[in-house]
Amino acid sequence: MSENEFIREVNDEYRRDRLAQIWSRYSGVFIGLAVLVVLGVGGWRYWQHAQAQQSEAASLRFEEALRRAKDGTPEEAEKAFAGVAADAPFGYRLLARLRAAAEAGKADPAAGAKAYAAIADDTAIGQSLRDLARLRGALLVVDKDDPTALNTLQSLAAPASAFRHTAREMLGLVALKKGDFEGAGRWFDQIAADRETPAGLRQRLEIYVGLVAGGPVQVTEAAPQAPAAPPPPVVTDAPAPEATR
C-alpha cells in the first residue's frame, strides 16, 4: 500500500468516526426535525383540503343567495348574503358583504350606506376595495344632501383616485341640480382635462357642458288676457211667424 492510499484510508476512517459521533449525539434532533417536516407537510395538505371544501360550500350558498336576490325581496337577499358572510372564506365573505350592503340599500339607502361604511373601515381589506365601498355608500345618500357623502366623493375625486371619474361626474350633477352652474362647470372641466376619462363619460360630458352653458332657465309669467267677447247672435233666414187673428 502506497503512502497516499494509507493517508486516504486514515482520513476516511476519521470521517466515519466523526459522523458516528455526531449521529450518536444529535440523532434525536435529526429524527425530531424529520418528524416535524412530515407533520408540517401533512398539516399543510389537510389545511388546503379543508379550505377547498369551505370554498365549495360557500360557493353553493352564494349562488343560492344570488337566486334569492333575483326572485325574492331585498330583505330576504340581504339575510342570505349576511349568512354567507358570517363564516365563508375571505373572498366569498367580502363578496357577500358587498352584496348584502347593496340589497340593504334598495330598501333603506341609509342602512346600505352604513353597511358600506363598515366595509370601508375594515383594514383587512385592500385599499381599492375599501374605496369602492366608500363610493357606493356615498352614491346611495348623496341625493339627500348628506355632507359626509359629499366629502367622501370629493376625496375620491382626487387625481390619484381610481374612482375619480365617477366621483367628479356625480359631484357635477349634484351641483347642477342645486343650480350651482359655476361649481358644476369646475367639476366638468376636470373631467374634460383628464386624459384617462372613459369615452362614454366624454360623450355624456357634451350634454353636461351644454346644460352649464345654458345657465338657469328664466320662467316669465304670461300677461293676463282680457276675457273673450261673447259670440254675436246667430241670424237665420227663417220667416217670422204670422200673427194670429
Show pLDDT as tens, one digit a residue, over the chain (245 residues).
Answer: 565 665 666 566 667 777 777 767 777 776 777 777 877 777 777 666 666 777 777 778 888 888 888 888 888 888 888 888 888 888 888 999 999 999 999 889 999 999 999 999 999 999 999 999 999 999 999 988 789 999 999 999 999 999 999 999 999 999 999 999 999 999 999 999 999 999 999 999 999 999 998 877 554 554 455 455 555 554 444 454 444 44
For residues 205 and 192, is the Cβ–Cβ distance under 8 A? yes
Burial 171-202 (b: 16+ CB within 10 A, else e): bbbbbbeeeebebbbebbebbeeeeebeeebe
- Domain membership flag for residue 180: yes
CA 61 to each of CA 80, 83, 103, 178, 212: distance values in angstroms, whole numbers, following the listed order: 8, 9, 16, 44, 49
- Domain membership flag for residue 174: yes
pLDDT value, residue 65 = 83
What does pTM read for this prediction? 0.66
- Domain membership flag for residue 29: no
What is the Cα–Cα distance from 187 to 146, expressed in whole angstroms?
Answer: 19
- Domain membership flag for residue 206: yes
pLDDT value, residue 197 = 95
For the chain, how many structural domains are there in total?
Answer: 1
- Domain membership flag for residue 242: no
- Domain membership flag for residue 196: yes
Q: Look at the chain and count its residues.
A: 245
- Domain membership flag for residue 194: yes
Packing angle, helices 164-177 and 181-193, rounded to 10: 160
- Domain membership flag for residue 150: no
pLDDT value, residue 4 = 63
The domain in which residue 162 lies consists of 157-215
